[in-house]
Chains A and B, each alone.
Chain A
């Protein structure tokens, strides 16, 4: 449907939000629920911005279009400041090894721009989904198994529950006992009924997690599992000079999040779930929730300039690509816009930047479409390559998420691998990802050759039929009288992004609640809707 830009009516709002990524969508839902009149725009023809799920061609176009700021149509008008975008993605390399196969199924792919990313069943994104009743709109698939790369490139299944520890074949009896003992220490520490003497000491809580784990004599293999596959540490924790040491108290918090995730929904065996049809469903769900609360939606609508009060330089509104001017006291922009420092930042209202946890400024992401699963009997799985597992100087964890057609993100018989690693520069990031991809390919070849006769190997089609690798800039949320939402971060979940959205919302509306007090369905009458057959129901 290509039509001329529509005229938007009304022209004044309490809040204008540009970009439909997850943080923007959460803020739109919260502001609409608080009774604010909200206009939510996106220059793209799809929902989700940097959190979208797209077909291979759309994804290629999105990554490269975002790499070139459009020529600014800045006039001489002193009452406007032209709004420019900056490249969030660079070093984009896309290769297609079976274009005809891909073409045939193009519509069946929903590839995440910001992968790999999943939900922990007990994390804040799940809270947001339940509190805003967006669970009616979403379906999830369980991530069935969690692997970690141990010595010699071998993948070991992470024992992520008590029964899994008992059944595990890779751990010796002594190791199992050590692990159980450690989990008991954590359990006692977290139990509010236990007295102080059975808790982890304050001194230990402030010490590095790696030291704490060594102190209670956990062997290196178990230490590695806990730090990189459960606490999801990105940096090598056993290096003196590590810039990002995970403290014991944070490590225990992450462990607690993982453990409470394992038990939360009886039908999800593991801690992690993934939305059917891709990550892009989450912003769509929150946008729909906002729309129900009267938020106005306009896709395919670029914003070209900010309207500025000539007297005091304050932000007044925006100019659309259609030439129409719209006004609002508050504006929230997605991270692809250059944060307009000259506009709206009066001396008494400085721009605040949320602290970024990662020291690195970038994240390398990779997407591979493959013809077979990494593990023959499991389609949705996570693999963690902890520091030094791929090559001796590897100082950053590489995470790989494989999803199959049961998640409705690719056609049957194919799989999608998402990879990510924090990095300082493109060279480092690409080395991390390419080494991980090579390791995966080698393991696939050996797996094939183990069972299949040699003559078949010759006509074997390539394992990876499409591949995209790119570098994404990381940016934190910023707020002044204009706010900027954070870019997708390097984490595996949405925890920090939901936090950042909440902070931005509170900075914008200090007196309003981010989450509604009680879960109010769209309509009281339809409370009867999906019948309760079980908390997390495999329909």
Chain B
């Protein structure tokens, strides 16, 4: 949920797309500057945060990866909840992954958050020889559906940071919270023992 205060924006960002399209690789490139050629399909980390400074604001992304739950179409509603932005990833060398990306866009549109910033990322742009999805086709689909489009390569880092910067720029600066946000539990052992007495 994007919330503003002194132009510090916290934004939940979710990644969607076919298994193997490169969702985790994009995040790892963006957050850690790393690329692993044979990234395992489910990685042991599915929640990252990264802060970006754009012209007028500091945007702190809370990035949720799918943790592999998309493999058998079993993503939990929790995953989409309160997302301020989404990157829908497909593999430019795989037409089926582009068709799946369109399904994810429909799924997101059905979540009913009109303020959500959606990016379409055609990943693996370094593999030009194996290209199956033209950038024109993706571009026109993106335009029709209110997404912005970039071709990316987690391997070469091309356009990876740009996607996140573009999202940061497009996030509404003042966004009415769709639901009043609740409390987040944080463990504070010291305070816990202090409060263990009766009637504090």
CB of A337 closer than 8 Å to a CB of B: no
Q: Is the CB of A284 within 8 A of B46?
A: no
CB of B196 closer than 8 Å to a CB of A: yes
Q: What residues of A have a CB within 8 angstroms of the CB of B77 in the complex?
A: 46-47, 277, 284
CB of B62 closer than 8 Å to a CB of A: yes
Q: Is the CB of A528 within 8 A of B49?
A: yes
Q: What residues of A have a CB within 8 angstroms of the CB of B72 in the complex?
A: 6, 8, 296-299, 301
Residues 61-99 of B contacting A (Cβ, < 8 Å): 62, 67-69, 71-74, 76-79, 81
Instruction: For residue B178, give the distance in angstroms from its CB to the closest CB of chain A.
Output: 9
Taken together as a complex, chains A and B put the C-alpha atoms of A275 and B81 apart, in Å, by 13
Q: Is the CB of B48 within 8 A of A526?
A: yes
CB of B191 closer than 8 Å to a CB of A: yes
| Chain A interface helix/strand/loop/mixed | mixed
Q: Is the CB of A135 within 8 A of B184?
A: yes
Residues 126-161 of A contacting B (Cβ, < 8 Å): 126, 129-130, 135-142, 161
Query: Of the candidates A140, A162, A523, A538, which one forms a contact with B199 in the assembled complex, judged by CB atoms under 8 Å apart?
Result: A162
CB of A291 closer than 8 Å to a CB of B: yes
Residues 139-174 of B contacting A (Cβ, < 8 Å): none
Which A residue's beta carbon lies closest to that of B181?
A: A539
Most chain B CB inside 10 Å of its own CB: which residue of A165, A266, A294: A294
Query: Of the candidates A139, A301, A408, which one forms a contact with B184 in the assembled complex, judged by CB atoms under 8 Å apart?
Result: A139
Of A200-208, A453-461, A501-509, A529-537, which stretch is located at the interface?
A529-537
CB of A247 closer than 8 Å to a CB of B: no
Instruction: For residue A293, give the distance in angstroms from its CB to the closest CB of chain B.
Output: 7
CB of B179 closer than 8 Å to a CB of A: yes
CB of B44 closer than 8 Å to a CB of A: yes
Residues 243-278 of A contacting B (Cβ, < 8 Å): 256, 259-260, 262-268, 273, 275-277
Q: A265-B183, A273-B183, A537-B184 are in contact. Are A523 and B44 (CB under 8 A)?
A: yes
Q: A264-B192, A281-B78 are in contact. Are A523 and B47 (CB under 8 A)?
A: yes
Instruction: For residue B160, give the distance in angstroms from its CB to the closest CB of chain A.
Output: 17
CB of B42 closer than 8 Å to a CB of A: yes
Q: Is the CB of A187 within 8 A of B76?
A: no
Q: Is the CB of A161 within 8 A of B199?
A: yes
CB of A288 closer than 8 Å to a CB of B: yes
| Chain B interface helix/strand/loop/mixed | loop
* Interface 0/1 of A278-317, CB less than 8 Å to B: 0001001101100111101111110000000000000000
Query: Of the candidates A126, A138, A519, A529, which one forms a contact with B49 in the assembled complex, judged by CB atoms under 8 Å apart?
Result: A529
Q: What residues of A have a CB within 8 angstroms of the CB of B194 in the complex?
A: 263
Query: Of the candidates A138, A187, A190, A408, which one forms a contact with B179 in the assembled complex, judged by CB atoms under 8 Å apart?
Result: A408
Q: Is the CB of B47 within 8 A of A183?
A: no
Which B residue's beta carbon lies closest to that of A534?
A: B186
CB of B198 closer than 8 Å to a CB of A: yes
Q: Is the CB of B200 within 8 A of A262?
A: yes
Q: What residues of A have a CB within 8 angstroms of the CB of B191 in the complex?
A: 264, 266, 535
Taken together as a complex, chains A and B put the C-alpha atoms of A270 and B8 apart, in Å, by 31
Q: What residues of A have a CB within 8 angstroms of the CB of B79 in the complex?
A: 288
Which A residue's beta carbon lies closest to that of B82?
A: A139
Q: What residues of B have a CB within 8 angstroms of the CB of A288 in the complex?
A: 46, 67, 69, 76, 78-79
Q: What residues of B have a CB within 8 angstroms of the CB of A408 in the complex?
A: 179, 182
Taken together as a complex, chains A and B put the C-alpha atoms of A138 and B67 apart, in Å, by 16
Query: Of the candidates B49, B74, B76, B196, which one forms a contact with A298 in the assembled complex, judged by CB atoms under 8 Å apart?
Result: B74
Query: Of the candidates A130, A268, A406, which one forms a contact with B187 in the assembled complex, judged by CB atoms under 8 Å apart?
Result: A130
Q: Is the CB of B188 within 8 A of A535?
A: yes
Taken together as a complex, chains A and B put the C-alpha atoms of A523 and B197 apart, in Å, by 34
Which A residue's beta carbon lies closest to that of B75?
A: A297
Instruction: For residue A107, give the distance in angstroms from its CB to the closest CB of chain B.
Output: 7
Q: What residues of B have a CB within 8 angstroms of the CB of A196 in the complex?
A: none
Q: Is the CB of A3 within 8 A of B73?
A: yes
Instruction: For residue A373, give the distance in angstroms from its CB to the closest CB of chain B.
Output: 16
Taken together as a complex, chains A and B put the C-alpha atoms of A296 and B41 apart, in Å, by 12
Q: What residues of B have a CB within 8 angstroms of the CB of A300 in the complex?
A: 73
CB of A452 closer than 8 Å to a CB of B: no
Taken together as a complex, chains A and B put the C-alpha atoms of A187 and B196 apart, in Å, by 10
CB of A359 closer than 8 Å to a CB of B: no
Q: A47-B76, A523-B45 are in contact. Are A141 and B182 (CB under 8 A)?
A: yes
Instruction: For residue A289, give the distance in angstroms from its CB to the closest CB of chain B.
Output: 9
Q: What residues of B have a CB within 8 angstroms of the CB of A297 in the complex?
A: 68-69, 71-72, 74
Instruction: For residue B12, give the distance in angstroms from its CB to the closest CB of chain A.
Output: 11
* Interface 0/1 of A110-133, CB less than 8 Å to B: 000000000000100010011000
Taken together as a complex, chains A and B put the C-alpha atoms of A297 and B70 apart, in Å, by 8
CB pairs A–B below 8 angstroms (9 shown)? A6-B72, A126-B185, A130-B185, A135-B186, A140-B182, A260-B196, A291-B68, A301-B72, A522-B45
